C-alpha cells in the first residue's frame, strides 16, 4: 500500500515560520506525499518549493473557526488559487448550521465550489462540535453543494477524527463525495483503520513517522 499517497502533509499552527514551510515541502518531496497543507498566506512559498514535482499545494479557507463572512472566504479562496493552490479545505459556518440556517451553509459551500471550479474542494464540518444528526446533515449539505470531499476536523477543535463519525459521514454522502480524516492521526494503526473505513485522504503532521512505521 502506498500510504504516503493518502497523506496531506500538514502544518497549520500559528507559529509556523517560512523555514518550517520550506522543510515541510522538502519532506513532502522526499516521501512523495499527496500534498502539503498550509495556511493560505504560505501558498506562494509552498508553490515555489514544490515546482516541478507531483506534490500538490493544499490550503485552508475560513480557518479554523469558519465564522467569517462568505465574501471573506470567497476572496481568500480566489487569492489562494491565484497563488497556486490546487486544493482548498474550507471550514463551514458551524454557528449557522447549529442555528438551522441550512440554506445559508449550502449556499456558502456552493459559492466556494464555484470559485474553485475543477480543482478540489474539501469541506471541514468540525465533527467535535456537532451531534450525530448534525454530522449527517452537514455531510448531506456538502454533497448538495457539489463538494469533492467531506472532512472531519480542523485539528484545532476539542477533538479530532473518530471512526464512528466517519461511518456517519460515509453513509450520508452515499459515494457522492470522498472522505478526509484529520485531527489527532499520529500512528500507523489509526491511519490504517481510517483507510479501511473508506477514507481517501489523511490530514496529519505525523506523515513521516507513519510511513517509517509501515516500512518497519
Determine the Cα–Cα distance for residues 202 and 73; give it in Å rounded to an integer.
23
The total number of residues written for the chain in this structure: 216
- Among residues 56, 73, 122, 151, the one annotated as catalytic is 151
Question: Grid coordinates representing 168?
Answer: 456517519
Q: How far is CA 118 from the centre of its chain?
A: 17
Cβ-contact 153, 182 below 8 angstroms = yes
Question: Grid coordinates representing 27?
Answer: 519532506
Q: How far is CA 208 from the centre of its chain?
A: 18
- Among residues 47, 113, 170, 180, the one annotated as catalytic is 180
- Among residues 8, 83, 89, 148, the one annotated as catalytic is 89
Active-site residue 215, yes or no? no
Active-site residue 47, yes or no? no
Active-site residue 151, yes or no? yes
Active site residue ranges: 89, 151, 180
Amino acid at each position: 500500500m502506498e500510504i504516503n499517497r493518502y497523506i496531506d502533509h500538514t502544518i497549520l499552527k500559528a507559529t509556523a515560520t517560512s523555514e518550517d514551510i520550506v522543510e515541510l515541502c522538502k519532506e513532502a518531496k522526499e516521501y512523495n506525499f499527496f500534498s502539503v497543507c498550509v495556511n493560505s498566506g504560505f501558498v506562494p512559498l509552498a508553490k515555489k518549493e514544490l515546482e516541478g514535482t507531483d506534490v500538490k499545494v493544499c490550503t485552508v479557507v475560513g480557518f479554523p473557526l469558519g465564522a467569517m463572512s462568505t465574501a471573506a472566504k470567497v476572496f481568500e479562496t480566489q487569492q489562494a488559487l491565484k497563488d497556486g493552490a490546487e486544493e482548498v479545505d474550507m471550514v463551514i459556518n458551524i454557528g449557522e448550521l447549529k442555528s438551522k440556517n441550512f440554506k445559508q451553509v449550502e449556499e456558502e459551500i456552493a459559492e466556494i465550489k464555484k470559485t474553485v471550479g475543477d480543482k478540489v474542494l474539501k469541506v471541514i464540518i468540525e465533527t467535535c462540535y456537532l451531534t450525530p444528526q448534525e454530522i449527517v446533515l452537514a455531510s448531506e449539505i456538502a454533497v448538495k453543494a457539489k463538494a469533492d470531499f467531506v472532512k472531519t476536523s480542523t485539528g484545532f477543535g476539542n477533538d479530532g477524527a473518530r471512526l464512528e463519525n466517519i461511518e456517519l459521514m460515509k453513509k450520508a454522502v452515499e459515494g457522492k463525495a470522498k472522505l478526509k480524516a484529520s485531527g489527532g492521526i499520529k500512528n500507523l494503526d489509526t491511519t490504517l483503520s481510517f483507510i479501511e473505513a473508506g477514507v481517501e485522504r489523511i490530514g496529519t503532521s505525523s506523515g513521516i513517522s507513519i510511513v517509517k512505521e509501515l516500512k518497519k
